[in-house]
Amino acid sequence: MCSSDRTARVFAGEYGGSTLSVQDEDSGNPAWVVTPGGAWCRFMFLSGALTEVVEIGDMVHIRIADPTGVFNLIIGGRNTVLAETLCKIPVPSFVTVTGRAQMYLKNGEVMLSVRPDSIRVVDRLVRDQWVLATAKSTVGRLHDMHLAIQGMCTDERILAAVRHYAMTNPRLQDLAVMVENAVQTVRPPEFDASVPPDVRTLVMEFLQTGSGPRGIAV
């Protein structure tokens, strides 16, 4: 189920186009931010390059870039442990972030941000793994959106996204191209040209050559 993931994985290029906010049935929970690709975001897990950290008053504004765009993060309280930790991270650095999706109006314009709960420095490999996992999740949602456009999907969350964004197959294709371009930024694994040893064969050879009348020492 693509739209009910507890922790959403969404590319910045998709998240940045969101204009739909839905209040949860439990008014005590944060509202959902619904993306054009049908993701219902409340808690998010994202990864990318930390490109900017700016302190404005008592707030810390952060920008994290993935292969498709930029996430804007806001920490309320520059003296919090999280803000102090963040300000010590070199720019640029690859990071992972868990946080809450937020949408609000400012001067009549829809503003999107993520309020981070945690941030961790990682390497390029972890970032690439996030790209691949997010691509897989996104493609699954786009497939469901395509079925909904064809009248073959009954998932109310998917249908709500299709109706709000007036989604069409060409628009889904644009999102699919975004995913394809993101995947192309992933570095291919570096394989060892030598053939890895067959561990079982090595153990058997060792047992045959190393054993004596009383067996073999362990």
Structure tokens given for 100 = 């809450």
**Successive 10-residue mean pLDDT values, the chain, 218 residues:** 66 98 84 96 97 92 97 88 91 97 90 96 97 97 96 95 97 97 90 53 54 50
Residue 167 has what pLDDT?
A: 97
Residue 47 has what pLDDT?
A: 98
Backbone phi, psi, residue 39, to 5°: -85, 135
The mean pLDDT value of the chain amounts to 87
What pTM was estimated for this model as a whole?
0.83
Residue 92 has what pLDDT?
A: 95
Do residues 130 and 96 lie in contact, with contact meaning Cβ atoms separated by under 8 Å? yes
Residue 197 has what pLDDT?
A: 53
58 DSSP 8-state letter: T
190, burial (CB in 10 Å: exposed 0-12, middle 13-18, buried 19+): exposed
Residue 3 has what pLDDT?
A: 39
Residue 216 has what pLDDT?
A: 44
Residue 1 has what pLDDT?
A: 39
Residue 212 has what pLDDT?
A: 54
- Where b means 16+ CB within 10 Å and e means fewer, 29-67 reads ebbbbbbbbbbbbbebbbbbbbeebeeeeeebebbbebb
Residue 108 has what pLDDT?
A: 84
